[in-house]
Amino acid sequence: MITIREADSDDIDALQAIGCATYREHFASIWTADGLQLFLDQDFSPARLAASLAARDQHLWLLALDPQQQPIGFAKLNWARPVPGSDRRGAELQKIYLLKSQAGLGHGRRLLEQVLQRAAAAGESCLWLDVLKSNSGARRFYESAGLQQISEVPFSTDLQQIGMWVMACDLPRPA
């Protein structure tokens, strides 16, 4: 059984390590080696992680831990973000990554359920995310959780133009 908890400033090293490891596992093929390293150095720098973790009114980081309390994945939510292709605002699921060794065990589903619950409890009207057009497995996963494609946005790396699907779902109002 995994544990999912809110990350804080004590988790910067863990988030940096798991963030770089999971991103490399899943997305190294869409970057050059130098481009990937530059992206990781910026996106998962200790300073950037610290600033994001400190801005609790703007972001929520969830850390997924195995039974030995070792990080196996994480999610990052951004509050009240404009939904591309819409006049709505909602919680953006900016990142949700698990180690490949943890895929297919139900951990991604548990992490996504936690994200949906937290976003609804925060009073957000919808959850949205973008997913690489080439990532059909992730798209099916999100569709199975009730998200639907609503628009598309451009995305490119230093190696290629890919594009992303924007997916969203309405959230229940808190009681």
Length of the chain: 175
State yes or no: pLDDT of 128 exceeds 90.
Answer: yes
Average pLDDT for residues 67-73, to the nearest whole number? 94
Band (pLDDT 50/70/90 cuts) for residue 40 is very high
- CA–CA distance, 88 with 156 (Å, rounded to integer): 25
pLDDT tens track for 60-69: 999 999 999 9
- CA–CA distance, 23 with 142 (Å, rounded to integer): 18
Average pLDDT for residues 127-150, to the nearest whole number? 94
- Please identify which residue in the block is written with the tokens 């992730």: 138
Look up the CATH number of the domain holding residue 50: 3.40.630.30
The residue segments making up the domain with residue 25 are: 3-170
175 assigned to some structural domain: no
99 assigned to some structural domain: yes
Based on the structure, what is the number of domains in the chain? 1
Q: At 11, which amino acid appears?
A: D
140 assigned to some structural domain: yes
112 assigned to some structural domain: yes
State yes or no: pLDDT of 156 exceeds 90.
Answer: no
In this structure, how many other beta carbons lie within 10 angstroms of the beta carbon of residue 149? 14
pTM for the model: 0.93
15 assigned to some structural domain: yes
136 assigned to some structural domain: yes
Read off the tokens for 112: 């996504």
